[in-house]
Amino acid sequence: MRIYVWIGALLALGLAGTACRSTDHAALCDGVSCSGHGKCVVVRREPVCACEEGYRPDGPNCVPLPLAEPAPAPPGKVVAVAPPPPATEPVPGLDPDGTPSENAATATPELTQLCALALEALARPAEGEQPDLATLAKRDAIRRAAPAITEDCARFLLELAAAPETVECATQALRRAAEAGVDLGRLGAEDPAVTTCGERWKQAVEAGTEEFRRFTQRQRQAFGVAVFGFHRQYGFAGGPDEELCRRWLAAAPGAPPELLRATATPAGDWSLRLEACRRELAAVELRPLARWCLVDRADELRAARSADPCLPFAVPAETDALGRLVQLLLAAEAGIGEDAVPAPGPAAARQNQNGSMFST
């Protein structure tokens, strides 16, 4: 099973992903070490060094860039050199515990622009793709709340404190990919500089693991899905509905592991429960974000015995259907007939009156 990455992909692994693609031609990179300061990638079936910052490619090597000579001081004038900052100097805009301070700096237009371009890329279907449940939910969240997601993304990048040149290279890569109508991996296969940019982002995100964790938690809480987070792709042949039913049942006590295996058919009663889930799901119309919530918050839904945990992420027109579907899924899981399904609880009625956090 693959790991599907969003900000980690667009701004890190996706930009750097062409190094993985080059494994198809690994023999071409045999013996090309890039002097230990870069990575060998294959461009048009030729090994090329994608060098780290401060180095440039020179055949199979990465050689240091020449250092600029400081301008000589005028005769008789002493040039003062500022001392380095103390090692314990706090990061601007963050409290000592790493959380944003009340006087935290606001995101720059460059960071906001980068996040907006990343969202556009996420919302743009790739040629021939078969999107899974989480991908559809992320695009649904973007359609509903793009300005708020962009703002939160810019806040994360501010916390990450990426170098301006790293922000610029990602911005240019996203623009070029959009203009060419290709993904970043394909663009990087043609341009080693894009791969190098991806390596910088990968290092920045890895160095900011705690910031990334807080970022994805904020997104899941506010938008119903971590738009820029990691998620697993299962590859079920039946598509998103098959994924929803299998993952919903897999969270039940005593569920067999075969439910999460793409080519396996669960035995006995679990196969009947899976079929009942498919049948009930096909009878309702729910947007992707509400469907995703059924999987993402399955434990909470089971504990509540209602759709309450997912109502904040449903539009008013679908709250009744969502509430009834949760009851049907619980009944199908337990082997109870539809006659035993109770009516939607008072929370669903309240949500219908008060509306959703999202507009239709």
- pLDDT above 70 for 97: no
Whether the Cβ atoms of residue 64 and residue 54 lie closer than 8 Å to each other? yes
The answer to whether residues 187 and 32 touch, using CB atoms and an 8 Å cutoff, is no
How do residues 278-289 score in pLDDT, each as one tens digit?
988 998 999 999
Of the three residues 231, 255, 289, the one that is the final residue of a domain is: 231
Q: Is position 81 within any domain?
A: no
Q: How far apart are CA 136 and CA 223, in angstroms?
A: 13
In a domain, 359, yes or no: no
Contacts 24+ apart (CB under 8 A), 110-114: 110/164, 110/167, 110/168, 110/171, 111/154, 111/157, 111/158, 111/167, 112/150, 112/151, 112/154, 113/171, 114/11, 114/154, 114/157, 114/167, 114/170, 114/171, 114/174
The pLDDT of 64-82, averaged and rounded, is 48
pLDDT in tens, 241-254: 999 999 999 988 88
91 within domain boundaries: no
The pLDDT tens digits for 296-324 are: 999 999 999 999 999 999 999 999 999 99
- pLDDT tier for residue 268 given thresholds of 50, 70 and 90: confident
Give 184 or 251, the one with higher predicted confidence. 251
What are the start-end ranges of the H helices in 181-318? 184-190, 192-207, 209-223, 239-250, 269-282, 288-296, 298-304
Compute the distance between CA of residue 20 and CA of residue 82 in angstroms, rounded to an integer.
43
Same domain? For 211 and 252 the reply is no
pLDDT value of position 301? 94
- Residue 112 pLDDT grade (very low, low, confident, very high; cuts 50, 70, 90): very high
d(Cα 316, Cα 130) in Å, to the nearest integer? 28
Choose among 67, 28, 20: nearest CA to 44. 28
Distance CA 349, CA 51 (A): 59
Percent of the chain with pLDDT over 90: 30
154 and 48 in a single domain? The answer is yes
The stretches of the chain forming alpha helices (DSSP H) are: 7-8, 14-16, 18-21, 109-123, 133-160, 164-180, 184-190, 192-207, 209-223, 239-250, 269-282, 288-296, 298-304, 319-334, 346-354
Is 54's pLDDT higher than 90? no
Tell me what pLDDT residue 76 has: 52
pLDDT of residue 53: 57
**Domain identity same for 221 and 317:** no
Q: Please indicate, yes or no, if residue 333 is contained in any of the structural domains.
A: yes
For the chain, how long is the longest CA-to-CA vector?
Answer: 97
Same domain, 179 and 266: no
**Same domain for 123 and 32:** yes
Task: Return d(Cα 109, Cα 219) in angstroms, integer.
Answer: 21
Nearest to 117 by CA among 71, 77, 157, 74: 157
Q: Give the pLDDT band of residue 335 (cuts 50, 70, 90).
A: low
Residues 49, 110, single domain; the answer is yes
Give the pLDDT band of residue 59 (cuts 50, 70, 90): confident
| d(C-alpha 28, C-alpha 176), whole Å | 27
- Rounded to 5 degrees, what are φ and ψ at 63? -110, 150
**pLDDT confidence of residue 91:** 30
Residue 298 vs residue 44, higher pLDDT: 298
In a domain, 157, yes or no: yes
Mean pLDDT on 21-45: 66
Q: Are residues 191 and 43 in the same domain?
A: yes
Measured in degrees and rounded to the nearest 5, phi and psi for residue 142 equal -65, -45
Category of 27 on φ-ψ map: left (φ > 0), alpha (ψ -120 to 50) or beta:
alpha
Euclidean distance between CA atoms 291 and 204, whole angstroms: 33
Q: For residues 215 and 263, state if they share a domain.
A: no
Same domain, 278 and 241: yes
Choosing from 231, 262, 287, the residue where a domain stops is: 231
In a domain, 134, yes or no: yes
Domain limit, last residue, from 231, 264, 287: 231
What is the domain count for the chain? 2
296 and 196 housed in the same domain: no
- Say if residue 175 is in the same domain as residue 56: yes
Cβ-based neighbour number of residue 151 at 10 Å: 14
* Residues paired with 55 in a beta bridge: 64
Residues 224 and 286 in one domain: no
pLDDT tier, 80 (very low <50, low <70, confident <90, very high otherwise): very low
**What local confidence, expressed as pLDDT, does residue 13 receive?**
37
89 within a domain of the structure (yes/no): no
Selected residue with higher pLDDT from 211 and 17: 211
pLDDT value of position 77: 44
- Helix pair angle (288-296, 319-334), 10° resolution: 40
Query: Residues 107, 153: contact at Cβ < 8 Å?
Result: no
Percent of the chain predicted with pLDDT > 70: 70
pLDDT digits (tens, 9 = 90+) for 114-130: 999 999 988 888 777 88
Higher-confidence residue of 242 and 349: namely 242
Q: For helices 239-250 and 319-334, give the axis angle rounded to 10 degrees.
A: 60
Identify the pLDDT of residue 302: 93
Residue-number span of the structural domain to which 145 is assigned: 2-65+104-231
pLDDT digits (tens, 9 = 90+) for 254-266: 899 999 998 888 9
Report pLDDT digits (tens) over 135-150: 999 999 999 999 999 9
- Angstrom distance (rounded) from CA 220 to CA 296: 10
pLDDT at position 8, please? 47
Q: Check whether 71 has a pLDDT greater than 70.
A: no
Q: Does some domain include residue 30?
A: yes
